[in-house]
Amino acid sequence: MIISSNHYVNLEATLFSGQCFRWISDPPWFYGVISNNLIKIREHPKGIEFFSTPTSETLLKDKIAEYFNLDENLDDIYSCINSDSRINTSIHLFQGMRILTQDPWECLISFICSSASNIKKIRRNIDSLTQYFGNKLYLDQQILNTFPTIQNIVEIDEDILRNLGLGYRSKYIKSTAQTILNQKIKIRTWENLNYQEGLDQLVYFKGIGDKIANCILLFSLNKKEAFPVDRWIEQILRNYYLTKSENKSLKTTASLRLWGMNHFGKYAGYANHYLFHYFRTQNK
């Protein structure tokens, strides 16, 4: 099925810029899991074309459009954030790269896994989690798995997670799932929270600090003003944006994040992600 979009959708940049961790590329197709369905997708002159299983394309269409934020006006966003040469270059290099609206639970666990790690390892860790505790989905020659539920994670022993190579993150994954279950926290309702309420809720969990919380807000809770400050973004800000005195006074992740949110405005997260992807691919 084809879903039309008012702006080009750059699938490669969108799916492999570090906001999600388990899409597979088999040009021109990409395979991934959305809402417990295996999705096969490619770019199309009118937008995107996709197949799904087991749910029909018709029933899944809206969900896919939401995942890729297809109704978002990218030109409007670009004009809001395109205020300097670095952003401008990145926009031209990765025209059509979108910020996704992923499942918050999967996003949360994925970014707990991301702490002091690297993309390759994060992908391997999450892949292990889904292989051992998810359900298999088949399409063409691809086998992908659903993401384990909160209940699934609660039932897994911490040592098993450690054996999968998740290290010290294992106890954070366990305790987060346990807390959500025990306190009957409804993740569904998070999308109704504003930025600050969402941030407060997320950093409440052990293993989630300012950076990871902002990733979850940006990549799954539709908070485009969120501004995750990791080592890359911190270096970019310090090298290209901050004055000497700001470089001295801004020490914490949160203070840098507030500077970024203030400087780039309501689409700061888009500016963040374009800068992040640009510098990361440049320095490879």
* Residues near DNA, by CB under 7 A: 17-19, 111, 114-121, 162, 165-169, 171, 203, 205-213, 215, 228, 230-232, 253, 280
3-state secondary structure the chain: CEEECCCCCCHHHHHCCCCCCCCEEECCEEEEEECCEEEEEEEECCEEEEEEECCCHHHHHHHHHHHCCCCCCHHHHHHHHCCCHHHHHHHHHCCCCCCCCCCHHHHHHHHHHCCCCCHHHHHHHHHHHHHHHCCEEEECCEEEECCCCHHHHHHCCHHHHHHCCCCCHHHHHHHHHHHHHHCCCCHHHHHHCCHHHHHHHHHCCCCCCHHHHHHHHHHHCCCCCCCCCCHHHHHHHHHHHCCHHHHHHCCCHHHHHHHHHHHHHHHHHHHHHHHHHHHHHHCC
Q: How far is the CB of 53 from DNA (least distance, A)?
A: 28
Q: How far is the CB of 103 from DNA (least distance, A)?
A: 16
Q: How far is the CB of 232 from DNA (least distance, A)?
A: 6
Which residue's CB is nearer to DNA, number 34 or number 208? 208
Which residue's CB is nearer to DNA, number 49 or number 230? 230
Which residue's CB is nearer to DNA, number 36 or number 175? 175
Q: How far is the CB of 139 from DNA (least distance, A)?
A: 25
Which residue's CB is nearer to DNA, number 248 or number 284? 284
Q: How far is the CB of 279 from DNA (least distance, A)?
A: 11
Which residue's CB is nearer to DNA, number 63 or number 121? 121
